[in-house]
């Protein structure tokens, strides 16, 4: 690649990680992670519990400082780019009696990175209504959030993350504790909004299968290391065997992918299991 093309690719990257290394408690959690994510791209971050997925998100959010390497968002240092990033947390279970409406939850996304005066009443309501329409949540906009289903709450959290019009949205295990239909609904929603609005999506999950219809690339984490590419490039026995450091089989059954391997300490690694 010429130096000019490399420069253009760097400028086009919404998210750029280079030589990223993170140690926590004396253990190498992430090692030599390199990643460039383009505008409107949907990247799934896959790995078992303890693989470093949530740590990676915290680094991108500026909550964990890497021991080595750089993190840049739209060409800026992560500390100067927080307003460009929307975030959907790993879990959210409101009290059933919490007197907060769905639209009030979405509205919180307008003020997270705002200084000084907030939007005026009419303009603010218009932005909230627009965000609710993006995620098809208008019908329960005025209901208390404690009475909503897990899938409905996830829609609201996505709207909250998008309402400030970020360049990128990070989602940490948004499919956990959802039934299969709700998982598909949330994935379809995020994929549609991302591509229609040109928002980059980085979604963390332990199961890649719900993401297969919408994911552009996969970042597969194991032992603190990563393999990056399309699903066909990464989710192969030879690639994952090298990543895990022992033999791994990839089995495709009825449109789903199972990743299976065995050692004395790890008898099973399965992309459809909680682990």
The CA distance from 92 to 190, in Å, is 18
CB 81 within 8 A of CB 14: no
The CA distance from 260 to 241, in Å, is 10
For the stretch 65-80, pLDDT in tens is 999 999 999 999 988 8
pLDDT category of residue 12 using cuts at 50, 70 and 90: confident
CB 209 within 8 A of CB 254: no
Q: Report the predicted TM-score, pTM, of the whole model to 2 decimal places.
A: 0.85
Distances (CA, A) of 99 to 20, 103, 245: 43, 12, 51
pLDDT recorded at residue 70? 93
pLDDT category of residue 270 using cuts at 50, 70 and 90: very low
For the stretch 207-218, pLDDT in tens is 999 999 999 999
Structure tokens at 266: 């790890």
For the chain, percent of residues with pLDDT exceeding 90: 56
Res 6 pLDDT > 50: no
Beta strands in the chain (DSSP E): 15-24, 27-37, 42-46, 68-73, 76-77, 85-88, 168-172, 200-205, 217-222, 225-229, 248-253, 256-261
pLDDT recorded at residue 114? 47
The CA distance from 273 to 31, in Å, is 25
CA torsion 245-251-256-259 (nearest 10°) is -20
- Report all structural domains of the chain as residue ranges with CATH numbers, in order of start: 3-234 (3.40.50.300), 236-275 (no CATH)
CB 249: neighbour CB atoms within 10 A? Answer: 13
Nearest to 221 by CA among 237, 238, 234, 209: 234
Outline where the chain has alpha helix (H): 3-12, 53-60, 102-107, 121-134, 150-162, 180-197, 231-234, 237-244
Structure tokens at 162: 């998008």
pLDDT category of residue 96 using cuts at 50, 70 and 90: confident
CB 54: neighbour CB atoms within 10 A? Answer: 18
- Reduced to 3 states (helix: H, G, I; strand: E, B; else coil), residue 50 is coil
CB 121 within 8 A of CB 128: no
Nearest to 92 by CA among 169, 170, 178, 165: 178
């Amino acid at each position: 690649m010429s130096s000019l093309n490399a420069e253009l690719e760097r400028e086009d990257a919404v998210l750029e990680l280079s030589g990223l290394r993170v140690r926590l408690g004396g253990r190498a959690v992430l090692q030599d992670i390199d990643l460039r994510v383009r505008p409107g791209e949907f990247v799934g971050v896959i790995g078992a519990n303890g693989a470093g997925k949530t740590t990676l998100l915290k680094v991108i959010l500026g909550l964990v400082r890497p021991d080595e390497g750089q993190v840049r968002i739209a060409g800026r240092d992560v500390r100067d780019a927080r307003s460009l990033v929307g975030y959907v947390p790993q879990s959210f279970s409101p009290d059933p009696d919490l007197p907060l409406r769905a639209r009030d939850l979405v509205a919180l996304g307008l003020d997270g990175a705002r200084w000084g005066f907030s939007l005026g009443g009419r303009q603010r309501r218009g932005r909230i209504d627009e965000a609710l329409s993006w995620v098809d949540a208008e019908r329960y906009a005025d209901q208390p959030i404690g009475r909503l289903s897990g899938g409905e709450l996830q829609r609201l959290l996505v709207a909250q993350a998008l309402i400030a019009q970020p360049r990128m949205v990070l989602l940490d295990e948004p499919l956990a504790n959802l039934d299969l239909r709700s998982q598909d609904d949330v994935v379809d929603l995020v994929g549609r909004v991302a591509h229609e609005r040109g928002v980059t999506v980085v979604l963390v999950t332990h199961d890649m299968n719900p993401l297969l219809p919408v994911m552009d690339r996969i970042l597969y984490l194991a032992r603190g290391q990563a393999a990056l590419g399309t699903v066909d490039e990464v989710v192969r026995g030879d690639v994952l065997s090298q990543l895990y450091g022992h033999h791994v089989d990839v089995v495709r059954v009825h449109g789903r992918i199972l990743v299976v391997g065995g050692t004395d300490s790890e008898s099973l690694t399965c992309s459809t299991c909680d682990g």
